[in-house]
Amino acid sequence: MKLLIVEDEPALALTLRDNCEFEGYEVIVASDGERALALAAESTPDLILLDVMLPKLSGLDVCRTLRQRGTTASIILLTARGQEDDKIAGLDLGADDYVTKPFSVAELMARIRAHLRRATALEQYEFGGVTIDFRRHRAEREGVPLELSAREFEILRYFIRRRGEVVTREQLMQDVWRMRDYPLTRTIDNHIARLRQKVDDGEPRFLVTVHRVGYKFLG
Ligand code: CA
């Protein structure tokens, strides 16, 4: 699981980073709003801890832009005491939750775990006549069973959670194959091609190629 921490107070950013790394999450940190948007696009985190009062772009602006881009990551806002309007505006803009500073780190970690659990509990998904049951590892298309490997289920889950976003081969290598610098991007392309034959009609409608970059799921 990958977390993006957006916080401009260095001491708090460090505390959050340490605690999240201790829980075993991969952590990236941004200290202003513009950097947060760049890092979110680059590394597609599963969850974003987003301070509201930030240099360059406010956390609310970042939240709005992320949701406009179709980011499906859970977003937890870090709001200042007494800023009731920020909480309401943030939830309206697509944040999933908020904590008010000063907060208990233990409570924040519990909330992070809860959100990540919910995010991973993708049980069933349908697109273009294809139904995928992740819990039972079953898939069918127009009522006809589809033979999908465990890896193909994992690839689909990965794309579904990032639908509308560009996914690079490097991201697939790291997050689905879990190997850094895996030498054969061809392996990934072959898997995608096979998956496309199963879920797409000859020409790719749902798993589309983004030239020179990777793929995008449009289901
Ligand atoms: Ca701040």
pLDDT digits (tens, 9 = 90+) for 111-130: 999 888 776 667 789 998 89
204 Cβ contact list (under 8 Å, min separation 6): 196
Q: How large is the average pLDDT for residues 195-202?
A: 84
Average pLDDT, the chain: 89
pTM: 0.60
Task: Quote the ligand 1 centre to 130 CA distance (angstroms).
Answer: 44
What is the per-residue pLDDT for 51? 97
Q: How large is the average pLDDT for residues 131-157?
A: 89
- 104 in the same domain as 24: yes
Task: Quote the ligand 1 centre to 8 CA distance (angstroms).
Answer: 5
- 33 in the same domain as 127: no
Q: Which of 119, 139, 162 is the last residue of a domain?
A: 119
Q: How large is the average pLDDT for residues 162-187?
A: 78
- 102 in the same domain as 7: yes
- 172 in the same domain as 77: no
What is the per-residue pLDDT for 33? 97
- 145 in the same domain as 65: no
Read off the tokens for 1.
């699981």
Task: Quote the ligand 1 centre to 18 CA distance (angstroms).
Answer: 18
Top pLDDT among 154 and 39 is at 39
Task: Quote the ligand 1 centre to 7 CA distance (angstroms).
Answer: 6
What is the per-residue pLDDT for 212? 87
Residues 2 and 117: their CA atoms lie apart, in Å, by: 13
- 97 in the same domain as 148: no
Task: Quote the ligand 1 centre to 69 CA distance (angstroms).
Answer: 24
Q: Which of 66, 97, 119 is the last residue of a domain?
A: 119
- 40 in the same domain as 101: yes
CA angle 163, 71, 154 (to 5 degrees): 40
- 187 in the same domain as 115: no
- Classify 73 as helix, strand or coil: coil
Structural domain range at position 200 = 123-217
Number of domains in the chain: 2
Task: Quote the ligand 1 centre to 103 CA distance (angstroms).
Answer: 14
Task: Quote the ligand 1 centre to 218 CA distance (angstroms).
Answer: 35
Task: Quote the ligand 1 centre to 173 CA distance (angstroms).
Answer: 34
CA distances from 163 to 16, 21, 67, 71 (A): 28, 27, 12, 8
> What are the tens digits of pLDDT across the range 39-49?
999 988 999 99
> What are the tens digits of pLDDT across the range 72-96?
789 999 998 888 888 889 988 889 8
What is the per-residue pLDDT for 27? 97
> What are the tens digits of pLDDT across the range 176-185?
876 655 557 7
Contact 41, 64 (CB under 8 A): no
What is the phi-psi region of residue 169: left when phi exceeds 0, alpha when psi lies from -120 to 50, beta otherwise? alpha
Residues 39 and 16: their CA atoms lie apart, in Å, by: 17
CATH number at residue 162: 1.10.10.10
- 165 in the same domain as 85: no
Task: Quote the ligand 1 centre to 14 CA distance (angstroms).
Answer: 13
Comparing 97-111, 169-183, 201-215, the range with the smallest average pLDDT is 169-183
Q: How large is the average pLDDT for residues 49-57?
A: 96
Q: Which of 84, 119, 154 is the last residue of a domain?
A: 119
Residue pointed to by tokens 């107070």: 9
Task: Quote the ligand 1 centre to 53 CA distance (angstroms).
Answer: 4
What is the per-residue pLDDT for 79? 93
Residues 84 and 128: their CA atoms lie apart, in Å, by: 42
CATH number at residue 19: 3.40.50.2300
Task: Quote the ligand 1 centre to 34 CA distance (angstroms).
Answer: 14
